[in-house]
Amino acid sequence: MTIDELDTPAVIVDLDLMERNMKRLAEYCTRAGIALRPHTKTHKIPELAKLQIQYGAWGITVAKVSEARVMRNSGIDDILIAYPIVADIKARELALLAQNTRLTVSLDSLEAVQSISCAAAERGVHIRLLVEVDVGMHRCGVATPSAAVALAQGILKLPNVEFAGLMFYPGHMMVPRPRFLELLVPLNRLLNEVYGAFAGAAIPIEVVSGGSTPTAFFSDEFQGVTEIRPGMYPFYDRNMVGADVVPVENCALSVLVTVVSTAVTGKVIVDGGSKAFSSDRFLSGHQRGFGLVVEDPDAELEALSEEHGHLSIAASSRPYRLRERLRVIPNHVCSTINMHERIYGIRGDRVETSWVVAGHGKLQ
């Protein structure tokens, strides 16, 4: 099958680029002595998670219990749920999963520990827990070394849960290098204070899980990090290009769309809208637009209806024909893949494979 035979809109992944991106980070991690535990919320595809493991990843990360179930059902048995699981209904599902999975969960409250301990004890399983520390994003995580130690001590007192270490997410560090280095100073100071507090309390820390795609190749600059959880690095996207994380040539994923209307002057309508791209915004500079048109850097995907992409061609000299196809690199690859039931792997013009997005719609 060739790309021309794909119905649109369709997400296509350049396999050569994706494999290169996967290998490049795995090699960096090997050199740096840091375990790679990719966040598979980006693609939600078990086959790709297994490919990441084949290329050197140590287990995977997911965001939700239902995503963990999808990955476990495909045979992956070392899973970190990097999300505070606080509800009993989810804790019971965790305990079920832990019967045949090396399961780790991050959290920032004693209530979550109690709920998980109780469910794990009922099933007679053990669940590994990471204490999340807020290193500056101010989303989840305890704020101080003493709060982190207190939570770890809470874990140590309860049955069927094991204190495995610390987790943090530097989500505020997708910034230019000089600013990154500025932010790194207080972050490392906090991490060192935490390590000191744990040493003082004689609590050993096995894992320090950090990292993200924007910071992935600087992971060795974070004090004491033993593993990282980047998600987007197999594909990258317009936001990663906008933040100077990679050049556009590294982007492996685009949405193949068809021009469906040229009736309105100065505009071209393509058959991918917010239900194909997501409405996620561009996070850099002028913050406008919803994708990069590979065939025409002067076109701007200026607005999205649900099923219509509004391409402004006012600044472009490229002629547009009804029924032609274009490739658009989306703002945010994680959100885009999540809109699709199936995505396609290509080499050149050939569709070499396709994958069901098995975790698509798995929100609980």
Instruction: Name the site residues for a copy of itself (rule: CB under 8 A).
Output: 5, 7-10, 41, 63-64, 83-87, 89-90, 108-109, 111-112, 115, 132, 134, 138-143, 171, 258-265, 267, 269, 271-272, 274-276, 278-281, 305-308, 310, 322-323, 334-335, 338-341, 360-364
Candidates 237, 214, 244; CA nearest to 330 is: 237
Instruction: Write down the least CB distance from residue 326 to a copy of itself, Å.
Output: 13
Order across the sheet with 35-36: list the strands.
35-36, 227-228, 207-210, 161-167, 127-132, 102-107, 78-81, 60-62
Q: Strand runs (DSSP E) across 179-297, as ranges?
A: 207-210, 227-228, 253-261, 267-270, 291-293
CA separation for the pair 167, 164 (Å, rounded) = 10
Task: Using the minimum distance from each CB to a copy of itself, give the nearer residue, 114 or 250.
Answer: 114
User: Smallest distance, Å, CB 136 to a copy of itself?
Assistant: 11
CA 173/CA 334 separation, integer angstroms: 18
Comparison of 126 and 275: residue with beta carbon closer to a copy of itself = 275
| Min CB(151)–a copy of itself separation in Å | 10
Residue in the structure block whose two tokens are 């913050």: 287
Minimum distance of a copy of itself from residue 1's CB (angstroms): 12
Q: How far is the CB of 45 from a copy of itself (least distance, A)?
A: 14
Which one, 128 or 308, has the nearer CB to a copy of itself? 308
Distance (Å, rounded) from C-alpha 268 to C-alpha 233? 31
Between 220 and 320, CB nearer to a copy of itself? 320
For a copy of itself, the closer CB: 7 or 249: 7
